[in-house]
Structure 1
Amino acid sequence: MSTPDAPRARRFYQEMFGWPVSVLDETYALVGEEGGRPTGGVGQAGPVSPYTGVVVYFQVDDMDAALARAEKLGGSRRLEPQSVPGMGRMAVFTDPDGNPVGLLSP
């Protein structure tokens, strides 16, 4: 999830669902059991953030190939691949209707 007020969103979802949250820095926190693999994250969106809102992430073996395929099918990159501690690499593209879709790879 990318939001304009990450601390507020973390508190809300932590209290709403009892989610354990591990704050990495002022811009990003991982959601999931302590010591286990994270199941999500809450990131701080800024004025030039590539997207806001909840994004569903799909596991892929080859991030670059998946992004190239999305673009070939009419999608557009929104967030270039980057490393996330404990999760591997992540990226976001939009489908032809403008919906953000996330990718995760080892």
Structure 2
Amino acid sequence: MGQPVAWFEIAVKDGAKSRQFYADLFDWKLNYVEQMNYAMIDTGGEGIPGGIGTAGDGRTSGVLIYVVVDDINAALKKVGSLGGKTEVKPYEIPGTGHLAVFSDVEGNRMGLWQRV
């Protein structure tokens, strides 16, 4: 069985404008966490959860999906062996899991998520 997608993230330059755009477009309810400058997306029960965050200095705007893996370090090792590159080393989201970001052989960015 393949690995499921756990989360999606939209990185934007203008957070307030983009949050309003997506809330209006898709009727998403957004829970904005000011100290993180990040909005958790509630799609209404169907689909996968996600978030909208500001692309800070050095970050690219765009959409990332996060795929669940059992071992994030082993997955990144496999990324490298297949010609991809680690972009963001694994780090912990306290109490929930670890995430990392890689680029594939075409330069597309993807995320990895290891649950606690």
* TM-score interval for Structure 1 and Structure 2 normalised by the shorter chain: 0.7 to 0.9
CA RMSD of aligned residues (A): 2.2
Question: What percentage of residue pairs aligned between the two structures are identical?
Answer: 36
- Measure, in 2, the Cα distance between the counterparts of 1:89 and 1:23: 22
- Measure, in 2, the Cα distance between the counterparts of 1:72 and 1:8: 40
The secondary structure found in structure 2 opposite 1:10 is helix
The secondary structure found in structure 2 opposite 1:96 is coil
- Measure, in 2, the Cα distance between the counterparts of 1:15 and 1:84: 29
- The 5 Å alignment of 1:29-44 reads 29-32=39-42, 39-44=49-54
Q: Which residue of 2 aligns with 1:19?
A: 28
Equivalent residue pairs, number = 102
Q: Which amino acid aligns with 1:42?
A: I
TM, length-normalised to structure 1? 0.81
**Partners of 1:87 and 1:104 within 8 A in 2:** no
Q: 5+ residue gaps in structure 2?
A: 1-9
- Measure, in 1, the Cα distance between the counterparts of 2:91 and 2:32: 18
Q: 5+ residue gaps in structure 1?
A: none
Alpha-carbon spacing, 1:85–1:14, altered in 2? closer, same or farther (3 Å) = farther
